[in-house]
Every structure is written in structure tokens, then in C-alpha cells.
Amino acid sequence: MTGIQHIGIPTNDLEATKEFYQRLGFTIALETVNGDEKVAFLQMKDLVIETYQNGQAAMQSGAINHVAIDVKDIDTVFSLVQSLGVEMADHQVNGLPFWEKGVRFFTIVGPNQERVEFCERL
């Protein structure tokens, strides 16, 4: 594991969210679509926020959906995390066509119901 890869924040208004973070100095690193959701990755140096419009934002404190930890070998990390006996939100490694070559990831559930994603950029 090499560090936090991104923080996921659901939104009901992607344009307003992009504008807010751009005013704070973030730039748009990637815009894409995942199913019915518009997705934007906003970056400031090594900090990346993934925001996605899905109409299900909590609109209250605690609205961050997940923290993603960057990994270099998703299959090895998946096996390691499974062996720890933690609650698996994903029972397989998934993939999405984000960034240049895509990503592979899986998510676990923490003790406070927080989502922790392990993600490898391909």
C-alpha cells in the first residue's frame, strides 16, 4: 500500500461541486461517466477527490462515501484483506474504465460502516 488514492464524495449537483473545489485550487483531472452517473476527478498536487452525481448525496456532515487506498498489486492485496476476516463489501476485484488504462478495485466495510476502497490504477 502506498497511500490514500482518492476520496469519494457523492453529489446532487456535479457542476456546483466542481466549481467549489476549483475555487479552492483543485483542477479537473478527469471527467467521465459510470453508468448513469457523471464523474469528475479533481486534483490538487497528490490529493484527488472523486465526485459523482447520483442524486443520493446525504447532504449532511459525514457525507464522504469512501477513502481509497492506492495499491500496486490489487490481487495480492485482495487475498491479504480477505484473510483478515473483515467485512467485504465486494467479494471480487472490480474494474472501471477510469484514467488512461482503467482501475481495478474492491471495497471493505469498516467498524463505523465507512467504506475503504483498495484501488490500483492500471
pLDDT in tens, the chain (122 residues): 898 999 999 999 999 999 989 998 899 999 999 999 999 999 998 999 999 999 888 887 778 889 899 999 999 999 999 999 999 999 999 999 999 999 999 999 987 788 899 999 99
Q: How far apart are CA 91 and CA 7, in angstroms?
A: 21
φ, ψ (nearest 5 deg) of residue 51 = -120, 140
Q: How far apart are CA 67 and CA 61, in angstroms?
A: 16
Q: Which residues pair with 30 in a beta bridge?
A: 41
> Would the pTM count as exceeding 0.85?
no
- Per the CB < 8 A criterion, the answer to whether 96 and 105 are in contact is yes
Overall number of domains in the chain: 1
| Domain span at 8 | 3-121
| CATH code: domain of residue 97 | 3.10.180.10
